[in-house]
Amino acid sequence: MGRAVGRAAFLFLFLSLTVAQNITKNGAGTLDVGVILHLKSLVGKIARTSVLMAVEDFYSVHRNFKTKLVLHIRDSNGDDVQAASEAIDLLENYNVRAIVGPQKSSEATFVSDLGNKSQVPVISFTATNPALSSINVPYFLRGTLSDVAQVNTIAALIKAYDWREVVPIYEDTDYGRGIIPYLADALQEFGAFMPYRSAISESATTDQLERELYKLMTMQTRVYVVHMSLNIASILFAKAKDLGMMSEDYAWILTDGISNIVNSLNTSILEKMNGAIGVRFYVPASKELDDFTTRWNKRFKEDNPNDPPSQLSTFGLWGYDTIWALAQAAEKVRMADAIFRKQKDGKNSTSLGTLGISTIGPELLDSILHSKFRGLSGEFDLRNRQLEFSTFQIINVVGGRSKEIGFWTTKHGIFRQINENISKTTNVNSMPGLNRVMWPGEVYTVPKGWQIPTNGKKLRVGVRTSGYPEFMKVERNTATNEITASGYAIDVFEEALKRLPYAIPYEYVAFDDGQGVNSGSYNDFVYQVHLGVYDAAIGDITIRYNRTSYVDFTLPYTESGVAMIVPVKDDRDKNTWVFLKPLTTGLWFGSIAFFIYTAVVIWLLERRINNAELTGSFFRQLGIAIYFSFFADRERVDSILSRLVVIVWVFVLLVITSSYTANLSSMLTVQQLQPTVTDIHELLKSGEYVGYRNGSYLSDLLEGLGFDRTKMRAYENPDEFADALAKGSQNGGIAAVVHEVPYIKIFLAKHCKGYTMVGPIYKSEGFGFAFPKRSPLVYDFSRAILNITEGDSIIHIEKKWIEDQHACQNDGTMIGSSSLNFNSFSGLFLVTGVASTSALLIALMMTLYKNKHRIRDSIRRGQTQKEYERETINEQNQERTIDSNQVQNLQLTVPDDSNEYTCQQEGEISIEISPASGIQTSQDIASHRTSRNG
């Protein structure tokens, strides 16, 4: 009996141990989690302390949770292959249901494929490469921000400081390359671009870094965006400081890869970054964060006793919150089903082929995606498979530490304080509302963003002699071979240089031989800038659309447009009918019409009062009324209304007569000059010859308008134009010159007698300076030119070179049409028309009022007569009816003899006729009948 009981107890104990071992082996009540970090790196050390504390803190708060995380931390040693090997080991030998990490983007690329194959969620809080997308690897989650999130903040800073060019300096890895396309797009949207991209190898030596920095120094751009890991960045800034690139001429912007851990860097590294600005994720302050930071600092010293003290970074907070999100999700999963199912394809003998598939993977992934809470880093929400940013903080590295200078959000742009009234802050298109920034070199002046290279080269400015020396004249000193230039364009260029906020060393390079012989057209001249022969081209260069494809132009510094130079002629025409020209045809007919209307009104008004002058036939009376219109003072006008009409009409007549007299005198005595041609299409229709400047684009313009090549003649200078215009089109010359307005002003200043400008006939943008595409000088020169043209400087320059075109003018008056038209006197005609019509209406109303009793009596008589006629008609109708009845009765009683029959017929006839002559009574009929019988 005792033996049986002992055996039973032993068997029960054995079974209990076996079940417990199986439960432990199967992971019931626990969830194994692999953690892959680069434990020798600063980020890896910070993250290790954070994730260990996260597990402890979570289960100290959630003591009743049944499923607990078990962390298996592995070191990738910063190597992609090592990270993949550790992941395979964790999946095969430890059956981990989730992997936190790995740290680098390149490591995460391969490990995420392993997680996708085994349906094990992979959550990295440090891999920020945008190429790591969950579309292809649905089991990869990002417990951090994608690098895409920060590019708009960087672009907003560059736009706000008016920098036009930016050079990214990035490590040549998946992490470094991933941000570049997105940064380029963001910069382009804000009006900036990348003239060069500096890729630094992950294994680059100090000498290689130095050579790359020397290359950057030979370029104009002085704004750099640094996107790399800390190891390479520390070497980069050390060499940049040695080469003098951490000075007032440079601007350095740090991405969040460095900015997020800048507080954890030692002072020696930060001092080399002095003056740099950076962007990083903003972590809101909280009491929980302060308490955790204090505990974390103590724990970090215990975990890393040989390392210098470090501060908690954003990556450490993301690692802490990631563990909390995973622990919450694990509690919602049924761990009883947590096994690894072998893959069906057993032919693959590699380690990857033997990986099992986690049965709780889909459920765990879904639980993580729905885990949302407020962590130490802020709102931690992975519904979009990565964190969503809200606010970025802008920092300035000053004195070996980071200083907060502002914030940025998508909605409000850049602003100074997080708790200020953001609605009143600046946006991304305004100057930054930041605290004071100390730039490299310990200066507070914003770097201009570019500089002439420090290799001794000067700005090579291309010049060429113009057909108008007033605009530009180029000369070469035969002794020193030095090029000198003078003229309107040179004065504007040198005045603009004075107004730039920096000095530019420059030298003139002649497009011609220095003796005024040019070697090509203006298109060829401008194209030299595109080829790199010149750094700029100045002169009388027209801003044209086709040229903007290979150069950028400043704002124009002259007037715009294309016009014609044409001779003027005296338009005095003293023929037989010259007396009709002072008034247009419309005014002549209008005056006659109102004259007749006024005469008719006066005739009607005077007829009303029986004026003694208006006797005889109708035409005699109308003639006298017309005569009144001219000579009312000599004839008697009795009506007061007529006198008012005459007064108004005489006033109108006086004004028209005076204007006519003045205009006729001007036509007969004053020289009147007007253009021989007023429309370029007139030249085209008549087949006249036109001139243009040799080598200019106007030949193409004329051909585009329809001119035949044989009708176009090219000339070099204003004197040749004057000679050709003087000859005329029929004598080997031209009828007009098609020229740009700035040149026409110079021509008229010299040849002002006998010529004038007609137009503009065509739109052009004027003259400007040409620079290479996207040159930062274009913007600064344009602002300087705008400042010059808005002030007195441009007036002084014009007087110096073009003189005063108003000092010498053509004798005579330039006119278009000298005849007076109807519109000039429409107001007067309106007044006299209203006066005449009003007088006529008043007279009509007075007449009606005066004869109102007579009209009333006439109306009454008419009504009485109508009633009498109506009664008479009624009586006649009644008598006809009675007579008809009587006749019928008589016909029945009269004897039927021939005589009587004849008398009866006669009686009937007389009855039928009687209504026409009168109404007969019955007595009349009876008496008539008695007489006939007798």
Peptide bond into 195 cis (omega under 30): no
CATH code, domain carrying 242: 3.40.50.2300
Contact between 702 and 738 (Cβ < 8 Å) = yes
Cβ proximity of 39 and 45 under 8 Å: yes
* Token code pair at residue 263: 């507080």
Assigned domain for 85 exists: yes
**Are 684 and 665 part of one and the same domain?**
no
Q: The domain that contains 638 carries what CATH number? A: 1.10.287.70
Separation of alpha carbons 866 and 872, rounded Å: 10
Please report whether residue 368 resides in a domain: yes
Looking up residue 508, the CATH number of its domain turns out to be 3.40.190.10
Helix, strand, coil shares of the chain as percentages rounded to 5? 50, 15, 35
Token reading at 31: 């969830």
- Strands of 102-238, DSSP E: 122-124, 140-142, 167-171, 198-200, 223-227
Mean pLDDT, consecutive 10-residue segments, the chain of 934 residues?
A: 44 39 51 95 94 96 93 94 94 93 91 92 93 84 93 93 92 93 92 91 91 90 94 93 93 95 88 94 93 95 89 94 95 74 55 76 93 92 88 92 91 82 45 81 90 71 89 86 90 91 86 62 91 92 91 91 81 63 82 83 75 63 62 59 81 84 72 69 84 82 84 85 85 87 84 79 86 88 91 88 59 50 82 86 82 70 68 68 53 45 42 41 45 42
pLDDT at 352: 61
Sheet order of strands, 198-200 included: 198-200, 167-171, 223-227, 251-254, 277-281, 392-398, 401-409, 413-415
Structural Rg of the chain based on CA atoms: 54
Rounded CA-CA distance 508/461 in Å is 5
Residues 225, 195, single domain; the answer is yes
Shared-domain flag, residues 396 and 264: yes
Q: Are residues 410 and 470 in the same domain?
A: no
Domain boundary among 711, 735, 764: 764
Instruction: Verify that 709 and 722 share a domain, yes or no.
Output: yes
| Cβ-Cβ contacts under 8 Å for 879 (sequence gap 6 or more) | 919
The verdict on whether omega for the bond into residue 915 sits within 30 degrees of 0, i.e. cis, is no
* Dihedral (CA of 776, 782, 787, 788) sign: positive
Residue count (the chain) = 934
Are 604 and 843 contacting, i.e. CB atoms less than 8 angstroms apart?
Answer: yes
Residue 839 lies in a domain: no
Does 864 fall in a domain? Answer: no
Question: What are the residues facing 767 on neighbouring strands?
Answer: 542
Does residue 60 lie in a domain region?
Answer: yes
Domain count, the chain: 5
Backbone φ, ψ for residue 452 (5° rounding):
-65, 135
Same domain, residue pair 167 and 123: no
3-class SS letters over 365-408:
HHHHHCCEEEECCEEEECCCCECCCCCEEEEEEECCEEEEEEEE
Q: What is the pLDDT of residue 6?
A: 45
Q: Both 603 and 534 in a single domain?
A: no
Based on the fold, state whether residues 471 and 514 are members of the same structural domain.
yes
Is residue 643 one of the residues assigned to a domain? Answer: yes
pLDDT at position 792: 87
Instruction: Report which residue type is found at 291.
Output: D
Task: List, in sequence order, every beta strand (DSSP E) within 76-207.
Answer: 98-100, 122-124, 140-142, 167-171, 198-200
277, containing H or E segment: strand 277-281
Q: What's the confidence (pLDDT) of residue 403?
A: 92
- Type and span of the H or E element at 151: helix 148-160
Rounded alpha-carbon distances, angstroms, from residue 753 to 565, 692, 815: 12, 20, 16
Residues 33 and 128 in one domain: yes
Q: Are residues 306 and 407 in the same domain?
A: no
What is the distance in angstroms between the CA of the first residue and the CA of the last residue of the chain? Answer: 188
At 141 the three-state DSSP class reads strand
User: Of 490, 525, 558, which closes a domain?
Assistant: 558
DSSP string of 223-245, one letter each residue = EEEEES-HHHHHHHHHHHHHTT-
Burial class (CB in 10 A: 0-12, 13-18, 19+), 384: exposed
Q: Token digits for 253?
A: 């912007």
**Can you name the residues that pair with 29 across neighbouring β-strands?**
none
Task: Tell me the residue range of the domain where 628 lies.
Answer: 578-669
Q: Are residues 152 and 276 in the same domain?
A: yes
- Is 546 a domain residue? yes
Give the integer Cα–Cα distance in Å for 553 and 764: 14
CA dist list (Å): 681 to 96, 480, 659, 684, 722: 87, 52, 35, 5, 22
Listed residues 360, 380, 400: the one ending a domain: 380
Confidence at residue 687, expressed as pLDDT on a 0 to 100 scale: 84
Q: At what angle do helices 287-303 and 42-61 cross, to 10 degrees?
A: 120
- Burial of 460-475, coded b for 16+ CB within 10 Å and e otherwise, reads bbbbbbbbbbbbbbbe
Residue 704 falls inside a structural domain: yes
CB-based contact 59:34 (threshold 8 Å): no
Say whether both 37 and 131 belong to one domain.
Answer: yes
